Amino acid sequence: MIIRIVKMTFQLEKVDEFIHLFNESKELIRSMSGCKHLELLNDIQAKEVYFTYSYWNSENDLNNYRNSEVFAKVWSETKVLFSAKPEAWSVEQKIVL
């Protein structure tokens, strides 16, 4: 299982536009092969900083999503709203609590 964490910092005046875009796209992303979970988190100190947190069956499934038309459309509409370069990590859970 791969956990993908993406940190995105938005122009403050574009946050509502991003939330709308996320709500329109979340079910398309969740329906991608291998996607087991997707959620959106907001930093409690910085209202313009968001994280997507998603679980994928494999790195191959994640890469298939990243090479899909769904990703291309969502990312092209999202990246124009950024105020800083996004950061992303792919991690594996090693200890289950």
Domain boundaries, the chain: 2-91
Q: Phi first, then psi: what are they for 30, rounded to 5°?
A: -60, -25
Reported as a single tens digit per residue, the pLDDT across 44-64 is: 999 999 999 999 999 999 999
Mean pLDDT by 10 residues, the chain (97 residues): 97 98 98 98 98 97 98 97 98 85
Residue type, 61: D
Strand partners, 40: 52
| Chain centre to alpha carbon of residue 86 | 10
Report the predicted TM-score, pTM, of the whole model to 2 decimal places: 0.93
pLDDT of the residue at 32: 98
Check residue 95 and give its pLDDT: 83
Closest CA to 82 of 27, 6, 25: 6
Res 97: pLDDT: 74
CATH topology (fold) of 2-91: Alpha-Beta Plaits (3.30.70)
- Is residue 36 within 8 A of residue 56, CB to CB? The reply is yes
